[in-house]
Amino acid sequence: MKKVGFFQSVRLKLIVVYILLLLLGIQVIGAYFVDRLETQLTSNYTSSVQGQLNSLAFSLQSAFNTERNEDTTTLAADAQGLINDFGSGNEDIRKLQVIDSNPNIIASISRDQDDQSVIGKKVTDLRITKVFLFGDPTEPKEMLDETNERVYVGSKPIADETGNEVLGVLYYEVYMSDIYKQLQAINSIFTKGTFLAIAVTALLGILVARTITRPLTQMKKQAQIMATGDFSQKVDVKGNDEIGQLGITFNDLNDKLKLAQATTEGERRKLSSVLSNMSDGVIATDRLGAIILMNAPASKLIGQSFEEVQGQSLVDVLDLNDQIEDIAEVEEAGSMIIDLSNEDTHLLLKANFSVVQDENNEMNGFISVISDVTEQQRVEKERREFVSNVSHELRTPLTTMRSYIEALNDGAWQDPEIAPRFLGVTQNETDRMIRLVNDLLQLTKMDHKETSLMKERVEFVSFFDNIVDRFEMNKDEKMNFIRSMSNKSMYVWMDKDKITQVLDNIISNAIKYSPEGGTIRFAAQSTKKQLRVSVTDEGIGMPADTVDKIFDRFYRVDKSRAREMGGTGLGLAIAREMIEAHHGKIWAESQEGKGTTVHFTLPLMNQKRRGQS
């Protein structure tokens, strides 16, 4: 089972939910609190500023309504003195200007520019003009100055004693940075409190999440243990809440699964024992023909593992499409022979089918028992071919003998020229039948393991040279023998008579099928732990698809020519049996028109055994 990472766990999700809920609450409360606080601070601040400005405006009104003579100070001096006194103790004042009815600036203080540079200048601001026209103060509003600081801007009328005529205007700009500095400080405290609350909430969330998820984690581990077949452990139940009830239910499930698993395991072992000890293959399918069970012998027979064929159709796996159209037809077929042969191997299977019924006696699937009948079919085929070949091989000389004997009985025995020739043919055919019967008897003994090998330690190169020397003494003068023997001594544990018979047969065939003036090559070399012997002729050769068949009994590439040369078709078959009895291997290579090479191998004796011999 894939392990659940911390970032995918329920514990993290619970912690995140706790934190998100806290953040949501804090943000809602904080937003409301800051908004109300900002409104309250702004309101208090503007009320305070307006009160102070009203006092200043009243003082300026007295100055404007005072009668002037040569002994009294000017209005501009009085106004300048009033705003200087007002601004000297208040750092929030950015700019104060007193404007007369002309309208010219008669008094001014400013934090950012020279106060005297603007004295006497005419004011063209539309907002101040409206104050002179309508006598109402300009609605104060917040603005941003050149340095992006918030400034509270407005103007107040200075009326006469009756209040009907506007004598002047007080224009003011007041910094509001203190309010927002307080808000910023409060927000900083609020932010720090938020992080502290998140940390505390995360810690509490971990504790709460651990409390909730610990039983779930235990049940998950127990489920993983149960998946391995271990039902001995139980979940520790520590409460009677929903999770506790889940733990109790889980333990009950564990007990029932343990009982069910024990019952199923017992039945499975019985079935597995039966299937494993069967020599035949067993394949089980569902009602649709999909494979759901297969034992090892069946897997070996069809050459595919259960994992490869699981869920596939039995018809496709056994290649039954040519014999049946639907899986339901196998019930009627009962059994059939299946050919799974390919280019490399020949394989015939016999399949017996039976229906599996459920508790309602309805078809629920099929059981197929398959067995390898390749050898049985091959033996049967060889038996039929053997009987046919033996009958044919014996019938030919017997027919020939009968014809010649009838001719002799009819009077040919009195002819001094014909009689000897007819008797010679009869004798040759008799000898041929004797050789055939002797070869058959030898093969029969070897098939029944009745032929014992008289093995001895033999130095093969000199042994092979002696056999070639014997053939070279009797060969045609135009035929060439070329030897390619190893320079080192090679010792073989073998039966000299049997290997001599093998070499006689191979060399005789090479001489028979070599053209006049042809060359036969002999080679004996060592390859690793084996001796390899080769005999090559320049004869007619044979097709590639018949090379492996020349070691079969009674097989001839050119039957008419072989019979004319006295062959029985059993020599190479006997040679193969003898080589295999020596734990060797024999095979041929050939090309039509270019000759044939027959190879065989024999195990070489190791150094230890040579020393003991």
Domains of the chain: 12-182 (3.30.450.20), 229-275 (no CATH), 278-372 (3.30.450.20), 377-447 (1.10.287.130), 456-612 (3.30.565.10)
Please report which confidence band the pLDDT of residue 47 belongs to, taking 50, 70 and 90 as the band edges.
confident
Who wins on pLDDT, 381 or 106?
Answer: 106
CA–CA gap between residue 412 and residue 417 (Å, rounded)? 9
Q: What is the mean pLDDT of residues 396-423?
A: 76
Strand, coil or helix: 301: helix
Which residues have C-beta within 8 Å of that of residue 417, sequence separation ≥ 6? none
Question: Measured over all CA atoms, what is the biggest interatomic distance in the chain, rounded to whole angstroms?
Answer: 198
Structure tokens of 43?
Answer: 């309101």
Beta strands in 58-136 (DSSP E): 93-100, 105-110
- Average pLDDT over all residues of the chain: 78
Beta strands in 56-207 (DSSP E): 93-100, 105-110, 138-144, 150-159, 166-175
**Least confident piece of the model among 234-248, 535-549, 594-608:** 234-248
Please report which confidence band the pLDDT of residue 562 belongs to, taking 50, 70 and 90 as the band edges.
very low
Residue 463 has pLDDT above 90, yes or no: yes
CA–CA gap between residue 332 and residue 201 (Å, rounded)? 74
- Please state, as a whole number, how many other Cβ atoms lie within 10 Å of the Cβ of residue 261: 14
Residue 4 has pLDDT above 90, yes or no: no
Question: What H or E segment, with its residue span, contains residue 525?
Answer: strand 519-527
Top-confidence range, 73-82, 85-94, 579-588: 579-588
Q: Give CA torsion, residues 77, 83, 89, 94, to 10 deg.
A: -130
For the chain, what's the residue count? 613
| 118: Cα separation from own chain's centroid | 86
Q: What is the mean pLDDT of residues 320-330?
A: 73
Structure tokens of 500?
Answer: 């001599």
Over residues 152-170, the pLDDT tens digits come to: 888 888 888 777 788 888 8
Torsion 307-313-316-318 (CA) sign? positive
AA identity, residue 53: L
Alpha helices in 475-613 (DSSP H): 496-513, 559-564, 571-581, 607-612
CA–CA gap between residue 46 and residue 489 (Å, rounded)? 124
- Angle 411-417-422 (CA atoms, 0-180°, nearest 5)? 65
When computed from its CA atoms, the radius of gyration of the chain, rounded to whole angstroms, is 60
pLDDT of residue 449: 64
Q: What is the mean pLDDT of residues 100-115?
A: 79
Who wins on pLDDT, 282 or 548?
Answer: 282
Do the Cβ atoms of 125 and 145 come closer than 8 Å? Answer: no
Do the Cβ atoms of 529 and 606 come closer than 8 Å? Answer: yes
Do the Cβ atoms of 592 and 541 come closer than 8 Å? Answer: yes
Over residues 288-305, the pLDDT tens digits come to: 888 888 888 888 888 788
Residue 3 has pLDDT above 60, yes or no: no
pLDDT of residue 613: 45
CA–CA gap between residue 53 and residue 160 (Å, rounded)? 17
pLDDT of residue 524: 92
Residue 603 has pLDDT above 70, yes or no: yes
Please report which confidence band the pLDDT of residue 563 belongs to, taking 50, 70 and 90 as the band edges.
very low
Structure tokens of 488?
Answer: 């080192």
